[in-house]
Amino acid sequence: MRILITAGPTREYLDQVRFLSNASSGKMGYALAQAALAAGHTVVLVSGPTALAPPPGCNFHAVETTDEMYETCLTLVSKCDGVIGTAAVCDYRPRERFSGKIAKTGKPLFVELVETPDILAELGRRKADGLPWIVGFALEADNARENARRKLAAKHCDAIVLNHPQAIGSDANRVELIDQSGAPVATWEAEKTEIARNIIAWIDANLGPCRLGAP
């Protein structure tokens, strides 16, 4: 299969030097890319800024902002057999980007934020156009499983991987994989590389071409 994987954070600039972002390391997405390659798949990796080297053999696309990731994914997805959305994108950006560098004035600075495009939801809508499957990630702090189920349905995913804020920047993780029934079908607590192999194996067994009835 040809799998599109999103990874890492995105950045939304306030001025020429300052930006909004998060502490995502990209480790989970890159581990999934490596695991998919090792399983014999073709990988298209779309990544925000990280300190990681792209796995050799993947088709790598570096992006910075949420809009850039959105446009890149929409361009690439039509040639892919499935999507794994691990990127921790910024949900908001400043309505206006200040030119130059904002200087201190001794007064409060008020910034209006607006929502960024919902990449996972838009890719989920592509299933109506023939995208075979999509697996999302949900990082939740409160009402975790309930929020993950809501995201699973709202974004038209075939499965969602629930993890928690402690995963950010860590080499290990504890995740639940929830399928369309809304029930957890697997729980893994291990190094992210091992979790990635388990997720790819589950996708092969449950969402791959044979499972979906493709030739």
Residue 31's domain is classified under what CATH number? 3.40.50.10300
| Domain span holding position 124 | 2-96+112-212
pLDDT of residue 210: 44
Percentage, residues of the chain above pLDDT 70 = 97
In a domain, 89, yes or no: yes
Amino acid at 39: A
Dihedral angle sign, alpha carbons of residues 188, 193, 198, 203: positive
pTM over 0.75: yes
Query: What is the count of structural domains for the chain?
Result: 1
Q: Are 112 and 93 in contact (CB under 8 A)?
A: no
Predicted confidence at residue 68, as pLDDT, reads 98
Residue 62 pLDDT exceeds 50: yes
Q: What distances in angstroms separate CA 97 from CA 14, 19, 83, 93, one per listed residue?
A: 5, 10, 31, 9
Is position 47 within any domain? yes
Instruction: Note the pLDDT of residue 130.
Output: 85
Choose among 183, 207, 187: nearest CA to 198: 187
- 101 found inside a domain: no
Structure-model confidence comparison of residues 133 and 142, the more confident one: 133
104 found inside a domain: no
Residue 213 — very low, low, confident or very high, per pLDDT cuts 50/70/90? very low
Residue 103 lies in a domain: no
What are the CA-CA distances from residue 193 to residues 33, 172, 182 (Å)?
10, 8, 25
Q: Which two tokens stand for residue 59?
A: 């088709």
Question: Token pair for residue 94?
Answer: 């400043």
Establish if 171 belongs to a structural domain. yes
The mean pLDDT of 192-201, rounded to a whole number, is: 97
Residue 156 lies in a domain: yes
Say if 105 falls within a structural domain. no
Question: Is the confidence at residue 67, as pLDDT, over 70?
Answer: yes
Give the C-alpha separation, 25 to 67, whole Å. Answer: 20
Tell me, what's the pLDDT at 65?
Answer: 97
Distance between CA atoms of 27 and 176, rounded to whole angstroms?
Answer: 17
pLDDT, position 148: 94
> Which residues does the annotation mark as catalytic?
22
